[in-house]
Amino acid sequence: MIAFANAKINIGLQVIRRREDGYHDLETVFYPIRMHDVVEVIESSETRFFASGLAIPHSHAGNLCLRAYELVRSRVDIPPVDIYLHKVIPVGAGLGGGSSDAAAVLRVLNDLFAIGLSDSELMAMARQLGADCAFFLRNKPVFATGIGDVFTDVNVNLAGYHLVVVKPDVHIDTAEAYRGVMLRPEGNGLSDAIRLPVAAWKDRIANDFEGSIFARHPAIGKLKADLYEAGALYAAMSGSGSAVFGIFEKRAELGQTMDACQVFYIDSE
């Protein structure tokens, strides 16, 4: 059985506080985009994982697809499977590819073996795999709080806009990103600002990771500036990076300024 696991972008990201458990409370908006990995699960005599497409660091050890399978198997007696992952979503980009792949495996196993797990049960299992993993089970825009695992529906619609996602040859470690971030206990009014027209977001919606990450990796900050120079209404780093996205009224062609990067042109639904 095959599933297509889509990516997401973060529109704004405020880091509110460090929690006693070591995680951070945050506020962000998750928005699904049309960039997909391909996941196939086939019943087998033993459980194996195969990867193609973009390279996945440590693709077998602790891979989220395998962890999703083991999580289901811990609750339900299911047979071994072969899991095939064709990777299109860049790794370490803040686009949620690994979490989306894991959510796809949960959905496929539930359907393939007619397990009958409810939506709420699947959501609870997904949250054990990653803070944003449960988002990919519903794939609707949400205002996310907590550690990024508490969702409230939000009315954001980018239909008719054109997105450009740019991934430089830089990998941002999440722990590194959090070490440098400035906390914002009062937030920044994201829940109100997201209701404004896209053209008003530039001066109202920010990603708190950008300050420290742009200081250490100025090439990423330049990509954001280049997207604005090319006419983006809004541009930002997604999550803790390193991908940067721009939202355009018209399809943009960025040319040679992005030659050293992976560039994805996406028409929003």
Whole-number pLDDT of residue 59: 61
- Residue 201 and residue 233 in contact, taking contact as beta carbons nearer than 8 Å: yes
Whole-number pLDDT of residue 64: 94
**Burial of 138 by CB count in 10 Å (0-12 exposed, 13-18 middle, 19+ buried)?**
middle
Same domain, 138 and 203: no
Whole-number pLDDT of residue 181: 80
φ and ψ of 72, to 5 deg: -65, -45
Question: In whole angstroms, what is the distance from residue 59 CA to residue 73 CA?
Answer: 20
φ and ψ of 6, to 5 deg: -90, 165
Whole-number pLDDT of residue 182: 77
Whether residue 255 has pLDDT greater than 90: no
Whole-number pLDDT of residue 173: 77
Q: What is the pLDDT of residues 56-108, one digit of tens each?
A: 876 666 789 999 999 999 999 999 999 999 999 998 899 999 999 999 999 99
Q: Can you give the residue range of the structural domain that contains 130?
A: 2-152
The residue from 8, 87, 167, 224 that is catalytic is 8
The residue from 37, 132, 208, 226 that is catalytic is 132
Whole-number pLDDT of residue 60: 64
Whole-number pLDDT of residue 138: 94
Query: In the structure encoding, which two tokens stand for residue 158, read together?
Result: 């980018």
Average model confidence (pLDDT) across the chain: 91
Q: What is the pLDDT of residues 229-238, one digit of tens each?
A: 999 999 999 9
Same domain, 143 and 199: no
Query: In the structure encoding, which two tokens stand for residue 192, read together?
Result: 């109100």
- Residue 246 and residue 158 in contact, taking contact as beta carbons nearer than 8 Å: no
φ and ψ of 115, to 5 deg: -70, -35
Q: Parallel, antiparallel, or unpaired for β 234-237 and 262-267?
A: unpaired
Same domain, 20 and 122: yes
Same domain, 53 and 96: yes
Per the annotation, the verdict on 119 as an active-site residue is no
Q: What is the pLDDT of residues 155-166, one digit of tens each?
A: 999 999 999 999
Predicted TM-score of the model (pTM): 0.93
pLDDT band at 257, cuts 50/70/90? low
Same domain, 137 and 123: yes
Query: In the structure encoding, which two tokens stand for residue 194, read together?
Result: 């997201």
| b/e code 143-159 from CB counts within 10 Å (16+ = b) | bbbbbbbebeebebebe
Same domain, 173 and 216: yes
Q: How many angstroms separate the Cα of 266 from the Cα of each of 90, 107, 247?
A: 15, 25, 10
Which domain CATH number covers 170?
Answer: 3.30.70.890
Per the annotation, the verdict on 167 as an active-site residue is no
Question: In whole angstroms, what is the distance from residue 17 CA to residue 177 CA?
Answer: 14
Last residue of a domain, one of 152, 172, 206: 152
Question: In whole angstroms, what is the distance from residue 267 CA to residue 247 CA?
Answer: 10
Which domain CATH number covers 114?
Answer: 3.30.230.10
Whole-number pLDDT of residue 61: 62
Same domain, 112 and 242: no
Same domain, 47 and 100: yes
Same domain, 13 and 138: yes
Whole-number pLDDT of residue 252: 83
Residues 6+ apart with CB under 8 A from 202: 228, 233, 234, 235
Same domain, 48 and 128: yes
Same domain, 23 and 140: yes
Picking from 110-119, 128-137, 169-178, which range would have the lowest pLDDT averaged per residue?
169-178
- Domain count for the chain: 2
Q: Amino acid identity of 127?
A: R
Same domain, 139 and 185: no
Last residue of a domain, one of 152, 181, 201: 152
pLDDT band at 167, cuts 50/70/90? very high
- Residue 1 and residue 113 in contact, taking contact as beta carbons nearer than 8 Å: no
Q: What is the pLDDT of residues 117-160, one digit of tens each?
A: 999 999 999 999 998 999 999 999 999 999 999 999 999 999 99
Last residue of a domain, one of 152, 172, 191: 152
Picking from 34-48, 54-68, 101-115, 191-205, which range would have the lowest pLDDT averaged per residue?
54-68
Whole-number pLDDT of residue 31: 97
